[in-house]
Amino acid sequence: MPRRLQAYTPTKEDDWDSVSALYSMCMWITVLMWGCGFALQIFTAYKINFVYIFEINPISSLTHYQFYSFAAMLSFIIFFSLICQEIIFDVTINGDPQYKIPSIACQCIFLYVMFTPINHLYRNARWTLIKTCGQIWIAPFGLVKFRHFFFCNVLTTTNDIMYDFGDSLCFYANGCFKDTPKFDCSYTTYIIYAWSIIPYYWRMM
C-alpha cells in the first residue's frame, strides 16, 4: 500500500512522514536518470544503435555522460535539501509549518528542471520526452512507435511513483504546505485503482 500523509503529531518521525512523498518523487526521477545513463553506457559499449531503435533526433540525443551529469545535479539538489531539512527540524518548534520549506523548494526546482521552456538543461531532449508522454496520453489517437511502446512498458512499473504523486496532491490540496492540519488522502484509493489499469491500456493501444 502507498505511504499516506498521516495526521500531524509533534514528533520528528511524523514531520519526516509529512514531507517524505515530495522527496520520494524527486528521488524516483533521479534514479530513472541514473538508470538511463547506465542503459546508454551499455548500448554504447556493445555498439547498439539506440538512436535508430528509439527514433530519436541525433541532434537532441544525449550521451550517457550527459545523463550522468544531469542525474548528479539532481542528486546534489536532493542531498542539499535533505541537509537543510534536518537542520530546520532541529531548530524549529514542533507545529511550525516552516519546516516544510526545503521539501517544497526541492520539488519546485525539480519541476523547473524538467519542464522549463528556457533553452538550457538539455531542453530538446526534455521536450522530446514530454511530447512522447503527450502521444501516450491521447491514445489510441497518438503516434505508435517503439519509443512510445517502450515508455508505456516502463510506466507499468511506476506504481510507487504515482502513489507518491497522489500523496503530493494531498500535501497541497489539504493545505498541509501552509499549516499542520489533521487530514487523510481520501482519493489515494482511486489513484491506486486507476494507475493499476491505465498504463496497461496505454501499452495495449
pLDDT tens sequence across 58-115: 887 899 999 999 999 999 999 999 999 888 877 765 556 677 888 889 999 999 998 8
pLDDT value at residue 94: 58
> 31 lies in a domain?
yes
Query: Is 109 domain-assigned?
Result: yes
What are the C-alpha distances in Å from 139 to residues 49, 76, 165?
A: 27, 36, 22
For residue 173, what are the domain limits?
Answer: 12-204
Q: Is residue 1 part of a domain?
A: no
In a domain, 2, yes or no: no
27 found inside a domain: yes
| Global pTM value | 0.82
Cα–Cα distance for residue pair 164/166, rounded to 1 Å: 5
Could you tell me the three cell numbers for 64?
550517457
In a domain, 7, yes or no: no
Q: Which of 59, 54, 74 is nearest to 154 (CA)?
A: 54
Structural domain total, the chain: 1
Q: C-alpha grid cell for residue 38? A: 547506465
Grade residue 187 by pLDDT with cuts at 50, 70 and 90. low
Residue 34: pLDDT band with limits 50, 70, 90: very high
Q: Which amino acid is at 188?
A: T
Q: Is the pLDDT of residue 31 over 50?
A: yes
**How many CA atoms lie within 13 Å of 165's alpha carbon, on the beta-carbon side?**
13
139 — pLDDT class (breaks 50, 70, 90): confident
Cell 524538467, located at residue: 114
Top pLDDT among 5 and 38 is at 38
Residues 43 and 48: their CA atoms lie apart, in Å, by 5
Q: Tell me whether residue 143 is in a domain.
A: yes
Q: What is the pLDDT of residues 7-30, one digit of tens each?
A: 444 455 556 777 788 898 899 889
**pLDDT at residue 149 tops 70:** yes
Is residue 128's pLDDT more than 60? yes
In this prediction, residue 163 has a pLDDT band, given cuts at 50, 70 and 90, of: confident
Query: Cα(196)–Cα(160) distance, rounded to whole angstroms?
Result: 11
Cβ within 8 Å of residue 174, ≥6 positions away: 5, 181, 183, 185
Contact 18, 176 (CB under 8 A): yes
Model pLDDT, residue 105: 92
Q: Is residue 150 assigned to a domain?
A: yes
Region 121-141: what's the mean pLDDT?
87
pLDDT at 129 over 80: yes
Within a 13 Å sphere around the CA of 134, how many CA atoms are in the beta-carbon half? 6
Q: Peptide bond preceding 140: is omega within 30 degrees of 0, i.e. cis?
A: yes
